[in-house]
Amino acid sequence: MSAVRSLEPWRWIGVPMVQLLGLTVLFAIPLRVFGLQLPEPVFPMAAAFAWAVIRPSVLAPFAVLLMGLFLDFFWGGPIGLWALCLLVAYGISLAGRTMMAGQSRAILWAWYGMVTGAAMLIGYLVVMLDAKSTPGLVPLAWQYLATIILYPFAHRLIEMFEDADVRFR
Amino acid sequence: MSLRDNPLGELKVPLTWGAAVALIVAAVVAIAFLVSDRRETFQSEAYGATRRASDTVLGPVGDVLSAPVRWTGAGVDTVRGYFFAVSENRRLKAELKEMRQWRDVAIALRDTNDRYRTLLGLRTDPPIPMVAARIVSDSRGPFANTRLANTGEEKGVKAGNPVMSENGLVGRVIGVTNGASRVLLLTDTASRTPVMIDRTNARAILSGDGGPNPRLDYLRGREPVKEGDRILTSGDGGVLPRGLPVGTAVKGLDGRWRVVLASDRTPIDFVRILLFEDFTQVLNQKQLDVMPVPPPTQGSQVVGLVPATPAAKIAPPAPTPGPAAPGTAAPAAATAPKPPPPKPATAKPGASKPVTPKPTASAASKPTSSAPTTATPPASARPRPPVEEAPH
């Protein structure tokens, strides 16, 4: 039996991916109470950020791509839009991974907010070019707020798997 | 030989670089998808087999997941109906009283409209068939506002069909599969809807921006809209029928005119998909695009130079010109401005000029004038000499 217990991809990539996509489907229920609808956060953003922080991986970008494509098909937007946005978020997080190492929860939350903002800015520009019309900033701000309050999910994922593989401590 | 003994065993690509390469490959795939996407077109094949397959799967999933919401809503309605039956009855009676007055007005207007249509010989639009559907999933983000309805091509739904709730227009169908239809809402950034302001008949384009109140773009005229004006579909372009209720105009915080959608008054659970097809969608475009070839020219239709002898044989003899004096010809032409009888151009070209002058203003005002200049037709009305229209 090996002394090193490797981190299986299905544990830190597969299970969170299914959970987040399930939440996305659940929040798309046409529910309206007292004129208010459910918020529509980008659940996969939490995974895209956390996976880059946990460890570099060859599988993770493709999992991010799959989640983004699912969002595009499910939400009926331009195909590839959210895939690109999530990959941008993953790329920024991967590039800043060394700066985030050992930082407090608040600093990581700020990083998460910055990464989410960059991804949505890319989405804004792409939609502007695609539809030749500027999307409204108010709905964008609502979705941004609904997404950055998901950081506790990302933090829990980071805490669960950051030290799971001793080779990446 | 173990891996460590292999001379290439120590040659290990850093994992970060591997992740970066994978990221670039995934980004290229995403960009390729994005560039090739054409979701807002009316071509059903542009929607793509993958989208259709995903809608086919996601439709029943959304239907199952939204079932508890429907049951809860029905239960709440039942309880509310039980406890508020008296006040509801009172409200409905008042509404019925008002509606009776509107019914009388509507009957009178329908009668007037029928008479006008008969008088004008208008060809009225046939009634539009429709199918009912239930919304099973809803996306509300800034970049995509679509809904999935649980009725598809098995009921005859096609891409482009307008979708209405009981209050007003919701959007249009952009993709259809068996058992599901994707509805592009009026609030989507890709949505453009030709509308008109009911009060002024001014036209505008309703542009979605991801928010709940789409913008009124390309408004023309001086003060074409004011607060509270009713907005209807204009039917321009033939995509939507004319006169569907859209909402009411409001001034947005950004100073632009926006529309409070009528369909937002109540939760959209059931919708009606209008199986509307404009004549531009029904007609055969290919048949229209075919340029009609003129038939081969016959002898009597030839205008240009033809040999004098055969033309004289085919054509009837030219009528004898009237009195040669142009002064007498001019009043006759002025009082009876009829087109000249068909005449072969080659029969007597010299005689045609004084007989067929078109009346000028001066000729009409001075019918008794004997000056030959009054009989001279304007340059544009003069018969052209045959040589100018030589056969090609």
Q: Say yes or no for a CB contact (<8 Å) between B30 and A84.
A: yes
CA distances from A143 to A37, A84, B142 (A): 13, 17, 7
CB A88 within 8 A of CB A119: yes
- What is residue B10's predicted lDDT score, i.e. its pLDDT? 52
pLDDT-based confidence at residue B289 (cuts at 50, 70, 90): confident
The mean per-residue pLDDT over the stretch B201-213 comes to: 91
- What is residue A5's predicted lDDT score, i.e. its pLDDT? 60
Q: Tell whether B74 is within 8 A of chain A (Cβ).
A: no
**What percent of chain B lies above the pLDDT cut of 70?**
68
Which CATH code is given to the segment(s) A9-161? 1.10.1760
Residue B14: pLDDT over 90 = no
pLDDT in tens, B255-278: 899 999 999 887 778 899 999 877
pLDDT-based confidence at residue B356 (cuts at 50, 70, 90): very low
- What is residue B67's predicted lDDT score, i.e. its pLDDT? 86
- What is residue B285's predicted lDDT score, i.e. its pLDDT? 67
How far apart are the C-alpha atoms of B388 and B305, rounded to whole Å? Answer: 9
Bigger pLDDT: B291 vs B146: B146
CA distances from A137 to B23, B140, B205, B241 (A): 29, 14, 20, 32
**The tokens of B307 are what?**
């040999």
How far apart are the C-alpha atoms of B132 and B155, rounded to whole Å? Answer: 10
Q: Where are the domains of chain A?
A: 9-161
- What is residue B269's predicted lDDT score, i.e. its pLDDT? 82
Question: Residues 6 or more apart from B175 whose CB is under 8 A from it?
Answer: A76, B39, B44, B47, B51, B52, B55, B159, B181, B182
Question: Which residues in chain A touch residue B31, judged by CB atoms under 8 angstroms apart?
Answer: 80, 84
How far apart are the C-alpha atoms of B18 and B7, rounded to whole Å? Answer: 21
CB B66 within 8 A of CB B147: no
Closest C-alpha among B208, B206, B227, B225 to residue B217: B206
Question: Which residues in chain A touch residue B15, judged by CB atoms under 8 angstroms apart?
Answer: 55-58
- What is residue B228's predicted lDDT score, i.e. its pLDDT? 92
- What is residue A66's predicted lDDT score, i.e. its pLDDT? 96
Residue B41: pLDDT over 70 = no
CB A92 within 8 A of CB A50: no
**The tokens of B21 are what?**
């390469």
CB B28 within 8 A of CB A80: no
| pTM of model > 0.80 | no
Q: Tell whether B322 is within 8 A of chain A (Cβ).
A: no
**DSSP string across chain A:** --SS-PPPHIIIIIHHHHHHHHHHHHTTS--EETTEEPP---THHHHHHHHHHH---SHHHHHHHHHHHHHHHHHT--TTHHHHHHHHHHHHHHHTHHHHTT--HHHHHHHHHHHHHHHHHHHHHHHHHHHSSPPPHHHHHHHHHHHHTTHHHHHHHHHHHTTSSGGG-
Q: Tell whether B138 is within 8 A of chain A (Cβ).
A: yes
Bigger pLDDT: B347 vs B179: B179
Report A:108-167 residues touching B (Cβ under 8 A).
123-124, 126-127, 130-131, 133-136, 138-140, 142-143
CA distances from B31 to A128, A167, B143 (A): 15, 34, 16
- What is residue A11's predicted lDDT score, i.e. its pLDDT? 86
pLDDT in tens, B164-195: 998 899 999 999 999 899 999 999 999 999 99
CA distances from B222 to A98, A123, A125, B200, B219 (A): 60, 37, 34, 10, 9
Report A:57-96 residues touching B (Cβ under 8 A).
57-62, 64-65, 68-69, 72-84, 87-88, 90-91, 94
Q: Provide the CA B122 distance to its chain's centre, in angstroms.
A: 19
**The tokens of A17 are what?**
């991916």
Return the ∠ at Cα B202 (arms to B201 and B207), rounded to 5°.
Answer: 125
Sign of the torsion angle spanned by Cα atoms B180, B186, B187, B190:
positive
**The tokens of B60 are what?**
């029943």
- Best A79, A129, A165 member to test B by mutation, with max B CBs in 10 Å, is A79
End-to-end CA distance of chain A: 21
Which residue in the block uniquely carries the two structure tokens 């009837």?
B316
Name which of B149-163, B290-304, B350-364 the model is least confident about. Answer: B350-364
- Best B21, B23, B66 member to test A by mutation, with max A CBs in 10 Å, is B23
Report A:25-64 residues touching B (Cβ under 8 A).
25-26, 28-32, 37-38, 40, 42, 55-62, 64
The overall average pLDDT reported for chain B is 75
CB pairs under 8 A between A and B: 185
**The tokens of A1 are what?**
């039996």
How far apart are the C-alpha atoms of B201 and B232, rounded to whole Å? Answer: 9
Residue B322's Cβ-side half-sphere holds a number of Cα atoms within 13 Å equal to: 14
Q: B212 CA to chain A: closest CA distance, Å?
A: 8
- What is residue B321's predicted lDDT score, i.e. its pLDDT? 43
CA distances from A147 to A37, A62, A108, A137, A159 (A): 16, 21, 15, 15, 19
CA distances from A130 to A134, B34, B64, B138 (A): 10, 9, 33, 22
Bigger pLDDT: B36 vs A18: A18
Residue B373: pLDDT over 50 = no
Superfamily of segment(s) B128-278: Rod shape-determining protein MreC, domain 1 (2.40.10.340)
Q: Say yes or no for a CB contact (<8 Å) between A134 and B209.
A: yes
Question: Residues 6 or more apart from B221 whose CB is under 8 A from it?
Answer: B200, B202
How far apart are the C-alpha atoms of B354 and B324, rounded to whole Å? Answer: 8
Q: Where are the domains of chain B?
A: 128-278
Name which of A8-12, A52-56, A163-167 the model is least confident about. Answer: A163-167
Question: Residues 6 or more apart from B158 whose CB is under 8 A from it?
Answer: B44, B173, B176, B275, B277
Which residue in the block uniquely carries the two structure tokens 């910055």?
A114
By Cβ distance, the residue of B31, B140, B175 closest to A37 is B140
- What is residue A90's predicted lDDT score, i.e. its pLDDT? 96
